[in-house]
């Protein structure tokens, strides 16, 4: 079993839709959680850190469920510009090492 | 100016050649990382360094070596390149004393093709 797993998709949604991605992790000692956005052939860019209590940034909401060992990303009112690959990343303890999921591809269509 | 830069951005080389990928940062971060990305496999950690005197192997270090020449510079070498090292390579930096969760910030990547 991979340490961090995501459904690779692709998720094809119309503009204005709400879409949610999940990411499961196997190491219960994991301490920090992140969502990155990656456009084709570009570097990953930090979208959100995931706080224990959940956090929201505009149309984006991140949640952490420690009991079930997953994090989620909710995107409301999808825009064409949201089309990208979304990578979840998990850091175990204070190792400083990130383990990435394989990414989930989102395609928002007009 | 970009905070994390990588050179070259694209490189085509032949099997058996030695190649070096370079990473520089102006963020003042102590920690630096090298990842490779392959389609369907996500990013995998090759080597990481928490300061100038600290070098650690990551998940897939075989066939690679690194050098931390200064706080701001971290180089990745392929001593004898082979075709399955064809990938997109990213450098990243972080500082646990900056931000809340030791977030990592990535350079623009180097696309390496080994023929």
**How many other CB atoms sit within 10 Å of the CB of residue B79?**
12
Of A33, A87, A96, the CB nearest to B31: A96
Left, alpha or beta for A56 (phi > 0: left; psi -120 to 50: alpha)?
beta
Report which of B52, B48, B5, B56 is spatially closest to residue B26, judged by C-alpha positions.
B5
| CA-to-CA separations, A77 to A14, A17, A73, in angstroms, rounded | 9, 5, 13
d(CA A96, CA A74): 26
pLDDT score of B2: 65
pLDDT score of A66: 92
Q: Chain B contact for A24, CB < 8 A? A: no
Of B31, B96, B108, the CB nearest to A43: B108
Check CB contact under 8 Å for B45 and A44.
no
Q: What is the mean pLDDT of chain B?
A: 92
Please check the confidence at residue A89 and state whether its pLDDT lies above 60.
yes
pLDDT score of B68: 96
Is residue B21 within 8 A of residue B76, CB to CB? The reply is yes
pLDDT score of B99: 64
pLDDT score of A9: 85
Q: What is the mean pLDDT of residues B15-44?
A: 93
pLDDT score of B39: 82
Is residue A16 within 8 A of residue A78, CB to CB? The reply is yes
- Chains A & B: contacts with CB separation below 8 Å: 56
Question: What letter would DSSP give residue A28?
Answer: T
Question: What letter would DSSP give residue A55?
Answer: E
The larger pLDDT score, comparing residue A40 to residue B40, is at A40
Q: Which two tokens stand for residue A102?
A: 């394989």
Please check the confidence at residue A94 and state whether its pLDDT lies above 90.
no
What dihedral angle (degrees, nearest 10) is formed by the CA atoms of B91, B60, A30, B28?
-20
d(CA A2, CA A94): 20
């Amino acid at each position: 079993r991979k340490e961090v797993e995501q459904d690779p998709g692709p998720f094809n949604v119309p503009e204005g839709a709400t879409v949610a991605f999940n990411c499961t992790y196997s190491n219960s000692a994991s301490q920090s959680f992140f969502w990155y956005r990656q456009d084709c052939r570009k570097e990953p860019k930090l979208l959100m850190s995931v706080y224990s209590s959940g956090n929201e940034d505009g149309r984006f909401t991140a949640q952490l469920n420690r009991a079930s060992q997953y994090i989620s990303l909710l995107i409301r009112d999808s825009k064409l510009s949201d089309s990208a690959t979304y990578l979840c990343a998990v850091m175990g303890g204070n190792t400083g090492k990130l383990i990435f999921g394989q990414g989930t591809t989102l395609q928002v269509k007009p | 100016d970009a905070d994390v830069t990588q050179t070259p951005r694209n490189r085509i080389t032949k099997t058996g050649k030695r190649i070096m990928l370079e990473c520089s940062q102006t963020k003042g971060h102590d920690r630096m990382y090298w990842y490779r990305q392959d389609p369907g496999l996500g990013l995998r950690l090759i080597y990481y360094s928490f300061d100038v005197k600290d070098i650690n192997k990551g998940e897939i270090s075989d066939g690679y070596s690194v050098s931390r020449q200064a706080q701001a510079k971290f180089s990745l070498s392929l001593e004898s390149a082979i075709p399955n090292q064809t990938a997109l390579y990213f450098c990243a930096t972080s500082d646990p004393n900056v931000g809340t969760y030791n977030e990592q910030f990535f350079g623009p990547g180097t696309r390496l093709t080994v023929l």
